């Protein structure tokens, strides 16, 4: 039977990491935690579940997750964030296929987000992610901070159940993350030299809101769905506005 290494990166996640680790214990044969020099009890809690906890100054979301993969002792990787956990249906689905994982090179699963006070069943759902994969065929890529797992063969099957994503505990937390992540995303665009026109902030933010609130049905998620859709559009606007401001300031 193939063995699974669960890989997690962390930084100051003492409030959430234990629930994450507890959820993966039934399916994981090994747990790897790469911590970005946390200043709270994150490492202490992680060591209750594994002795494979590594300190590493933050290199970037993609780089940090690939480092965790490299430290794993098994080829099959289950990758979760600290604010995520497996629901019972997904746990059972992984256990049911564990002795025949090699039928595919990767498995995707839906992710359901709990936003401040309720589950979002539309605007950010199903948000399907590849999180269980053979590292001989999969690697983290994308553009920081939005990492994306790709399987080079394209042989990916879907699993039932959900990753439960406990994202933002408050509106303030969302706004603070928005500012931090737009800094990172704008920096990636600036470094790449990608052209950004003056219309980009408006066009990208407008499309983001239409897609999430109207097309995906965010309006069915009540006021939380409106706020999540609106702030997602603000994220797109601010990201491209920061690029334009940076380039104009340096001209």
126 and 223, same domain (yes or no): no
Is the pLDDT reported for residue 1 higher than 90?
no
pLDDT digits (tens, 9 = 90+) for 54-82: 999 999 999 999 999 999 999 999 999 99
Say yes or no: 147 and 222 in one domain. Answer: no
State whether 36 and 158 are in the same domain.
yes
pLDDT value at position 175? 97
pTM of the entire structure? 0.91
Same domain, 148 and 228: no
- Which 3-state string (H, E, C) describes 13-77? CCCCHHHHHHHHCCCCCEEEEEECCCCCCHHHHHCCCCCCEEECCCCCHHHHHHHHHHCCCCCEE
The per-residue pLDDT for range 153-202, each reduced to its tens digit, is 999 999 999 999 999 999 999 999 999 999 999 999 999 999 999 999 99
Q: Could you give the maximum distance between any two Cα atoms of the chain, in Å?
A: 59
State whether 32 and 94 are in the same domain. Answer: yes
Q: Percent of the chain beyond pLDDT 90? A: 96
Could you tell me if 158 and 190 lie in one domain?
no
What pLDDT is stored for residue 146 in this prediction?
84
- The pLDDT-based confidence of 145 (bands split at 50, 70, 90) is confident
Looking at the structure, do residues 27 and 115 belong to the same domain, yes or no? yes
Whether the pLDDT of residue 143 is over 90: the answer is no
**Is the predicted pLDDT of residue 242 greater than 90, yes or no?**
yes
- What residue numbers bound the domain in which 18 lies? 4-166
pLDDT tens digits, residue range 196-227? Answer: 999 999 999 999 999 999 999 999 999 999 99
Residue 217 near residue 201 (C-beta atoms within 8 A): no
* Residues 150 and 90 grouped into a single domain: yes
* Structural domain total, the chain: 2
Q: What is the CATH classification number for the domain harbouring 106?
A: 3.90.550.10
């Amino acid at each position: 039977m193939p063995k699974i290494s669960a890989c997690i990166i962390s930084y100051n996640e003492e409030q959430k990491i234990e629930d994450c680790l507890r959820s993966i214990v039934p399916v994981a044969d090994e747990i790897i935690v790469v911590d970005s020099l946390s200043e709270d009890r994150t490492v202490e809690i992680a060591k209750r579940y594994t002795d494979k906890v590594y300190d590493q100054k933050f290199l970037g979301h993609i780089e940090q997750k690939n480092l965790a993969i490299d430290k794993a002792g098994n080829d099959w990787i289950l990758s979760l964030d600290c604010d995520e956990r497996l629901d019972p249906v997904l746990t059972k689905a992984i256990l049911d296929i564990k002795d025949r994982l090699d039928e595919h090179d990767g498995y995707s699963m839906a992710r359901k987000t709990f936003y401040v006070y309720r589950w979002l069943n539309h605007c950010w759902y199903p948000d399907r992610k590849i999180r269980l994969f053979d590292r001989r065929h999969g690697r983290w890529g994308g553009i920081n901070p939005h990492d994306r797992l790709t399987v080079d063969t394209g042989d990916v099957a879907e699993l039932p159940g959900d990753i439960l994503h406990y994202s933002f505990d408050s509106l303030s937390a969302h706004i603070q993350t928005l500012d931090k992540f737009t800094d990172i995303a704008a920096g990636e665009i600036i470094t790449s030299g990608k052209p950004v026109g003056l219309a980009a902030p408006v066009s990208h933010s407008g499309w983001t809101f239409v897609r999430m609130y109207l097309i995906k049905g965010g309006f069915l998620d009540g006021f939380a769905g409106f706020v999540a859709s609106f702030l997602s559009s603000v994220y797109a606007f601010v990201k491209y506005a920061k690029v334009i401001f940076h380039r104009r300031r340096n001209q």
